[in-house]
Chain A
């Protein structure tokens, strides 16, 4: 393979740029510096030793966080990217180091998280020989990367990495993997000055917006009696929170969010009517099937949002704003497709929509909210039962932080509670594994989120199951001294699966009674302060102590064992068939 396999036609061969003699390893790290990277999450190994050797001389400008497992490394990079809006960077070695990235890549792919992963690879002459720690990571990761590339010659490195960063962060962001053989890392070559990539001819990250669709969308919205906005992470990825707020406020349309869109409009905003989907709020689900115009912004109609698709919003005309044309008409047939970056399309749309209020329509959402409060929320947040609930932990946390913390949640019942009840004053305040539902995500992601938002408190909320999947990352916390508050909501069950077994499988609790170690003692072994709470009177003081503690703190809260998350849209049901109990 020659460098030209990567190359576009050379931009300007006229003025030959000055070159410097470098190793591939040094060129790799210089590329990271040139791309503005300051934090890397990684784990060394045989095939990436030359890059680690060069890294020794790149201190302190490239802060390397030594994780305890490559999966922890990539989840940390995801947390970093999500809290900061920058590209997360991961280093791993070949073979098992590289394959340990796969879950994180799949998670980042489905949640559109910009990552650049650099893996070491065996010497080029050993490729295909089943060499020690050789694995075909390019083909393994093809379905779970936006782009990947194997470098076998150092001369390819600057351009490969420039493309990697450009592709990861532009358009609909996503994870990218660059696999660099050991010989390429060691090879000395004449490197031209690093040039950032701004154009790839076969890649069209953002389209030219077509005005006629904006006009049609505005006309449809202006004609609507019961319009309803659904927004997703696209608003956050497009850094269009302000543009979105202006659109919502001018149009006066009630707006609900997917779990990755959370916080793009503050949870306390009067037009924020709550969360969509299987465990979302009552009103947004029911009224999806009563609105006349559905305006979907930067969201992809995931099955957890739509429930049964053939009974989803069939009465509504649909306007869909998305940067990714494959999302348009993928699950829900669109009346007006607005293909483009919402940072660009929203202001155009705002300019054309009429300033309106929809008081009667909004009141209907509030009626449903009142029903949900009576049936579910009040007892969850202010329980009259003796045992603690997950919801009251969130309620107490909200009262202390006022919604200023970055919440990082894992996957399961506690995640739904955290998404439903955590106050969010600003965007990029809730990092969670949405599409893939990766248990074990939260602990490492919280570490990365803190590096990405060092001046904000970061609170990880994790179940007793998920925390045991990546608990080794307590070692990363210990070694880096990063300040992460960890709340384990322990119901002594794999709670979400147990809930399904209770509701749909006749309470046959098959292998969900997970046992846990003494988490406070485990934390103490990593020199992390901790406390266990099983009494209501201790909860508030313990949360205050945790948040005031200098450095990381693990708080284990024993909660009621067999609580269920409601409302719930049972699988195979329409959103209108959402159950309150």
Chain B
């Protein structure tokens, strides 16, 4: 047994689901039951009307993520689940920063900081200004750290949203799901496809 300890890394889980009250809980408890923390969770419409898309981020080994993905897909109202590393997706998070307006007005350094980080002013009032940035975690973090010394009043960051690079969307898949006699294409277990070495004689 010479297995290296499997590496934990960020995985992006994408689930296509029906719009059903209670499904969020059903999916959330798959993680909490195993004492796995959800780093980020976003539920939104998908490219298809009436089908929801969950984006869930966790830090785990691939073996665990695959089991979780299968458990999610097993739920009656879940159509399909994919999991991807950060390299396999285009992802963004959005952050809002509320800072005192006088600080920005007076300190040239702050103005430069905001420019460098590509921050955009959303609201400007006499007493405070709200900036927005969008990007990867470390990008929004960097501006957060930079603004801390200048009287940052409030900070909030959104959940992650991610597009799968290799995906050609869900339209074709959905039409397969709606067929009563499923084709090989949809009936097959994609987790089985990826097996490294199925049996060889």
Contact = CB atoms under 8 A, between A and B. Distances in A.
Interface of A: 1, 5-6, 9, 138-139, 142-143, 146-150, 167, 198-204, 207-208, 210, 213, 216-217, 219-220, 223, 310, 317, 324-326, 328-330, 335-337, 339
Nearest to A143: B29
Contacts of A143: 29, 33
B180 A216 contact: no
B187 A207 contact: yes
B192 A146 contact: no
Interface stretch (B71-79, B92-100, B149-157): B71-79
11 contacts: A142-B29, A149-B22, A200-B76, A201-B178, A204-B187, A220-B199, A317-B199, A325-B74, A335-B198, A336-B199, A339-B192
Contacts of A324: 74
3 pairs of A and B residues whose beta carbons are closest in the complex: A208-B187, A326-B70, A202-B79
Contacts of A335: 198-199
B33 A147 contact: no
Contacts of A5: 19-21
Interface residues of B, number: 38
B188 A207 contact: yes
Interface in B23-75: 25-26, 29, 33, 66-67, 70-71, 73-74
B79 A201 contact: yes
Contacts of B71: 326
Contacts of B183: 208
Interface string B174-185: 100110101110
A138 B195 CA distance: 37
B145 interface: no
Given A208-B184, A219-B201, A335-B199, A142 B189 contact: no
Given A202-B77, A207-B188, A142 B199 contact: no
B74 A326 contact: yes
B140 interface: no
Contact of B182 (A204, A213, A326, A330): A204
B20 A336 contact: no
A201 B25 CA distance: 21
Contact of B198 (A1, A199, A336): A336
A150 B21 contact: yes
Given A204-B182, A208-B187, A142 B76 contact: no
Contacts of A199: 180
A217 B174 CA distance: 31
Contacts of B66: 329
A223 B200 CA distance: 12
A139 to B, nearest CB: 6
B192 A147 contact: no
B17 interface: yes
Contacts of B78: 202
Nearest to A1: B21
Contact of A147 (B29, B73, B76): B76
Contact of A210 (B20, B182, B188): B188
B111 interface: no
Contact of A337 (B182, B184, B186, B192): B192
A216 B197 CA distance: 12
B25 to A, nearest CB: 6
Nearest to A208: B187
B201 A139 contact: no
Nearest to B50: A9
Given A167-B76, A208-B184, A202 B18 contact: yes
Contact of B177 (A150, A201, A330, A336): A201
A328 B189 CA distance: 11
Nearest to A327: B70
A338 to B, nearest CB: 10
A202 B22 contact: no
A317 B192 CA distance: 17
A210 B192 CA distance: 10
Nearest to A172: B74
Contacts of B178: 9, 201
Contacts of A325: 70, 73-74, 189, 191-192
B188 to A, nearest CB: 6
Nearest to A325: B189
A207 B189 CA distance: 8
Contact of B199 (A139, A146, A216): A216
A322 to B, nearest CB: 11
B172 to A, nearest CB: 14
Contacts of B1: 310
A335 to B, nearest CB: 5
Contacts of A213: 192, 198
Contacts of B70: 325-326
Contacts of A208: 182-184, 187-188
B21 to A, nearest CB: 6
A148 B187 contact: no
A406 B22 CA distance: 39
A204 B182 CA distance: 9
Interface in B92-131: none
A207 B191 CA distance: 13
A216 B198 contact: yes
Nearest to B183: A208
Contacts of A202: 17-18, 76-79, 177
A138 B22 contact: yes
Contacts of A139: 22, 25
